[in-house]
Each structure stands twice: as C-alpha cells, then as structure tokens.
Amino acid sequence: MLPDCYRHPGRETGVRCSRCEKPVCPECRVEAAVGFQCLDCVHEGRAAARVSAPRTEYGGQLVRDGALVTKLLIAANLVVWLLAFTGGDAFVARWIMQGDAVAVSHQWYRMITSVFLHQQLLHIAMNMWSLWVLGPYLEKVLGRVRFLALYLLSGLGGSALVLATDSKAMVLGASGAIFGLLGAVIVVHRHRGYQLGPIMAVLVVNLVATFSLGFIAWQAHIGGLVVGTLIAAGYAYAPAARRNAVQGLAVVLVAALVAGVSLYAAAQITL
C-alpha cells in the first residue's frame, strides 16, 4: 500500500521528496536536479538562497553594476543644472543653501537641494568628474544603500556647517558630498591596508585649494569631509557579528549630529 501525500491525506503516491523523503503527489512536488522536492523544501531552499546572497566585505549587497547609484546621482545633478540654466537666477535663488532662509523661513529643503544645484559649467564638470572617479569604487565596496546614505549625509553635513558658521552665505554644489566620498575612500583604504600616500595627496591639494581660493565655501567641504569620514569608519570597523546593527547605529548617530548642529544653528540665528 502506497503512503499518502504529506499535504493531501488520502491521496496515495509512490514519489518521495529527494531531500526530506516526505511522500508527495504531483501537485505538491517540484522537479529538481535529482528527483523531486516537496514544496516545503523548495521554499526553504529559496529562503536560504536569499539569505546567502553575495555581500560585499562591508555588508552591502554585491551587484553586477556597481555604479548604478553613481550614475543616477550624476543624472540628477545634470537635470538640475539644466533646470538652473533655463530657469536662471530665480530658480537658483529658490533652491540654493542660505542660512537665513533655512532658519527664519523654515526652508529646510535647501540643505539638500543645494547639494544638487550648480550654475557654472566648470563647477558641475569638476564635481561630476570627481563623483565618477570616487563613486563606483565606494558603491561597489559598500553596496548601494550604504553608499547613497554616505553621499546624502555628507552633503547635508556640509550644509549644516554652512548654517552654523555663516547665515548670509549662499552656497551650492555637490562639493560637500564629494569631500565626504574622499574621506570615505581614505577610511576604506586604511581599513584594507592600502597605501594612503596618493589619496592623502589628493586630499591635501583639495584642502589647500579650499582655503586659498576666496570663492570656495570651506564649510561645505569640511562638513562633508567630517561626516563622510565618520560614516565610513562606522561601516569599516563595525564588528562582523553585529555589523548591520552597528553600521545602522553609526548612520543614525551621524544623522542626529547633523540634525542637532542644524537645529542649534537655526535657533541661534533666530534669537
């Protein structure tokens, strides 16, 4: 007498799951490389495959196109640049970072919209070239989500320092976010044991330019650099056993720091 299907009592079958050996009827089995598997084993196998999906050394999901987010960020910057080109000064004035507008008029969106805003062709060309050089490397190493959080918070960090130091300054550009990526590359290279000489030379040259050229908002560069370095350190040095939790906490703490500096600075402006 044949056994009943494990899911359909009374339905006899002579076929068993090749993994767990439960009897399975035609409705409850899936053809496998060898024999058949029951639906439970198939679901367990799929869940295990999802859990064991390839990850980067810093916990991000390993993807084929490591530059997708970088490309989207560049595209967003270019679209906003075209809008600024066609919209003129009125468009720029609406979205540029300006401390008084943020604190007095509560236009907090300026802190992030200004990160995507450029006017001069040379300005956006230099920033997008830097993003294309640094972005794919970090995106591949960190994963898309971690990389995007790093970029956006670095940009916000630059805006926060502008708000805290000069409420009259009008600042625009992705330079703060780019400096955050530069700081992250230094941390990653340090963690991986790479030579730091070349990347440190790039940082020094950029810092000299930042403080020697009078038209550059040093606050955006330094704010982005500090935030990017802190987040990258949280990514790189999180213990493997609690990596996701520690990395998430690092992002939350840095975001809270940026928010705290911004709120305190806004309060000081409105006093």
55 φ/ψ angles, rounded to the nearest 5 degrees: -120, 155
Confidence of residue 48 (pLDDT cuts 50, 70, 90): low
Confidence of residue 238 (pLDDT cuts 50, 70, 90): very high
Task: Identify the pLDDT of residue 74.
Answer: 98
Confidence of residue 241 (pLDDT cuts 50, 70, 90): confident
- Taking alpha carbons only, the member of 226, 132, 130, 134 closest to residue 180 is 226
Say how many C-beta atoms besides its own lie within 10 A of residue 1's C-beta. Answer: 4
* C-beta pairs of 201-207 under 8 Å, 24+ apart in sequence: 206/179, 206/182
195 or 51: whose pLDDT is higher?
A: 195
Q: Which stretch of 13-22, 169-178, 252-261 has the lowest confidence by average pLDDT?
A: 13-22
Confidence of residue 50 (pLDDT cuts 50, 70, 90): low
Cα gap 268→97, rounded to integer Å: 17
Which residue's structure tokens are 């270019």? 78
CATH topology for the 68-270 domain: Rhomboid-like fold (1.20.1540)
Query: Helix (H) and strand (E) counts for the chain?
Result: 10, 4
For range 156-161, the mean pLDDT: 98
For range 23-29, the mean pLDDT: 87
Among the ranges 30-44, 159-173, 202-216, which has the highest mean pLDDT value? 159-173
Task: Identify the pLDDT of residue 2.
Answer: 82
The domain locations on the chain are 1-52, 68-270
Quick check: helix, strand or coil at residue 29? strand
pLDDT, tens digit (0-9, with 9 covering 90-100), for 107-128: 999 999 999 999 999 999 999 9
pLDDT of 203 > 80? The answer is yes
Going by the DSSP 8-state scheme, the letter that residue 2 receives in this structure is P
83 or 35: whose pLDDT is higher?
A: 83
Region of residue 182 (left: phi > 0; alpha: psi -120 to 50; beta: else): alpha
Compute CA distances 155 → 30, 50, 100, 143, whole Å. Answer: 50, 33, 19, 19
Confidence of residue 35 (pLDDT cuts 50, 70, 90): confident
pTM (predicted TM-score): 0.80
